[in-house]
Each structure stands twice: as C-alpha cells, then as structure tokens.
Amino acid sequence: MNINLFKRRQDHATTAKRQLIQALRRRDTTALQKLTMRWQNIIGEEKFTDLMVNEVLLECDAESHSWFFESCLGQFRYQQMQQQAQSNVFNILVNAGLAPGTDFSFGLDGEMIISDRAQQVLLHHLPQEQRKFFAAQIQVSTVADPITAIEQQLGCPFYQNLTKIAARQVQTLDNAQASAYLGVLVAGLVKRHPALQNVDFPTKFILNTLQDLPQQRVTAILDDPETNPQFDEVLIFRDLLAAMEERECEYIESENKCNSLEQLKKLDLVWCGEYRLAEIVASLESWQ
C-alpha cells in the first residue's frame, strides 16, 4: 500500500515536471498557469514549489528560465533582480582576485563573457546540485575580439558605421565641440562594454575618426584641456541609432526626443551614460 502510494507520487512528480518544462519551452503562459493550479491541488503547494525550483527551472534552458521570472515578476522587478544578480557575481569574482574587462565582462541582454578561471570560481560558489545546470548554460565562443562579438549580436558593422558617422560629425563641429563629442561618445561605449578597453578601442576609434582632418585640427582636438567634457547626448543617440542601421533615427532631429522605448532598449545595447538606459526603460515601463 505504501509502496504504491510512493510510486504514484513519483509518477505525479515526473508527469508534472515534463508538462511544466514543455510549457516553459513554448512560452505558454496560459498552460503554465493551468498546470500550476492543477499540480498544486494534486501534490500540494510545498512539493510543487520544491519541484519547480529544484528540478524544473534547473533543467530548462536559460531563455526559458529568464522568461519565467520576467513573466512572474514583471519587466521592472526582473530588471532589478538581474542587476542584483550581476552585482553579486561581480563581487564574487572581484573578491577572488579576477579583473573586470579581462577575466569577465557583462555583455548584451544580461549575458556574461567569462574566462575559464572565472567559470571555475563561479562553479565553486554554487551548490553541487546546481553546477551541472550552470555548466550546461555556458556557450563556448571562439570570438575573442569584443568588437566582433558585439557586432555579430547586433547583426551589423556597428563600430565601422559609427566611425564613418563620427568622422562626418566632427567636421561640422569646432575643435572644443569635437573633443567633447568624442570624449562623451567613447566614454559611454566603453562604460557599457569595458572589454573594449582591452583591445585599445578608444585610441583606434578616435584616430580613425580624425584621420581625414588636417593635422593641425587633429592636434587641437586631442590636446583639448577640458577634463570633464559635456555634449548633447540626444545627438549622440542619433548617431548610435544610425550606426545600428536604425531606420527611424531621424526622429531626434524633428522631435528632439526618443520615439519609443524600443529605441532606448537598442541604445542600451551599446552605450551607457550616468545611468544604464535599461534602468530608465524599466522605470518608464513601470508607469505604463
């Protein structure tokens, strides 16, 4: 009698797990809600929660995992949770002696680029039962150059486009303005992706941008004494969107503002000012 009861409970857990994983993979919110109510009634809330946290979410793919939490928590709270997780990982790795931008960096859409050493440190900090899941989510990339990696994800030659756009822009500005424009632009690009510093991106980008100018102007721009350059970020946003081959970038010229939250999200992929644009987007979405 007890053996049959135990087997039936095992069968229930196995069936529930399979159905829940399928619903997650399909991103089927309705099915997930119905399955949650059904299996909570059958196996109880406590056992259902244990099954969901310790088995279902550990075995689903990373995208399904993220979708589940975003669906449950909402975009704003999910962004907060993701930022807190990044902060925790950052502290773990730095305390272990690893260097940001060299051993690890946070990439696009919450992704993280890590060295073998960083991977081992993180694995060491995980409970034994979660290490297999973590290792399965790691995708080995043969792309060592962050510029190539970012452009591959954007699907366009972003930095090449931006160099051409910036070269045209500096020709319309005086020396002080050109220096400020390049300073603010490059600082935001590197702040968003610190790994760019490791391939000497700032120097190469600025020199390529200025290469068609007379040497006297180049020297004056590079030697500008301003240590805290300021420039209209709206104009920088326009150039960034154009470099991403965003067709609607002309909105800035006519309305002097971003046309949609989607465009702010695109800008967040490549640039960061005083605050992450993702934080601004999340705050705006929470008010909608």
Three-state secondary structure readout of the chain:
CHHHHHHHHHHHHHHHHHHHHHHHHHCCHHHHHHHHHHHHHHHCHHHHHHHHHHHHHHHCCHHHHHHHHHHHHCHHHHHHHHHHHHHHHHHHHHHCCCCECCCEEECHHHCEEECHHHHHHHHHHCCHHHHHHHHHHCCCCCCCCHHHHHHHHHCCCHHHHHHHHHHHHHHCCCHHHHHHHHHHHHHHHHHHCCHHHHCCHHHHHHHHHHCCCCHHHHHHHHCCCCCCCCCCHHHHHHHHHHHCCCCCCCHHHHHCCCCCHHHHHHHHCCCCCCCCHHHHHHHHHHCC
Question: In this predicted model, what pLDDT tens digit does every residue of 60-74 receive, in sequence order?
Answer: 776 777 777 777 656
Question: In the prediction, which pLDDT does 132 show?
Answer: 62
Lowest-confidence range among 33-37, 42-46, 207-211, 253-257? 253-257
Q: Which of 2-16, 33-47, 168-182 has the highest mean predicted lDDT (pLDDT)?
A: 168-182
Question: In the prediction, which pLDDT does 196 show?
Answer: 87
Please check the confidence at residue 170 and state whether its pLDDT lies above 90: yes
Mean of pLDDT values over 201-205: 91
Question: In the prediction, which pLDDT does 207 show?
Answer: 92
pTM score, whole prediction: 0.50
Provide the pLDDT confidence category of residue 125 given band limits of 50, 70 and 90: confident
Question: In this predicted model, what pLDDT tens digit does every residue of 244-260 receive, in sequence order?
Answer: 986 554 444 444 444 56
Question: In the prediction, which pLDDT does 259 show?
Answer: 52
Question: In this predicted model, what pLDDT tens digit does every residue of 76-114 receive, in sequence order?
Answer: 555 666 666 677 777 888 888 877 666 776 655 556 677
Question: In the prediction, which pLDDT does 144 show?
Answer: 55
Looking at every residue in the chain, the average pLDDT score rounds to 76
Question: In the prediction, which pLDDT does 71 show?
Answer: 74
Question: In the prediction, which pLDDT does 209 show?
Answer: 95
Question: In this predicted model, what pLDDT tens digit does every residue of 139-152 receive, in sequence order?
Answer: 544 445 788 878 87
| Better pLDDT: 182 or 259 | 182
Percent of the chain's residues with pLDDT above 70: 69
Question: In the prediction, which pLDDT does 141 show?
Answer: 46
Question: In the prediction, which pLDDT does 78 show?
Answer: 56
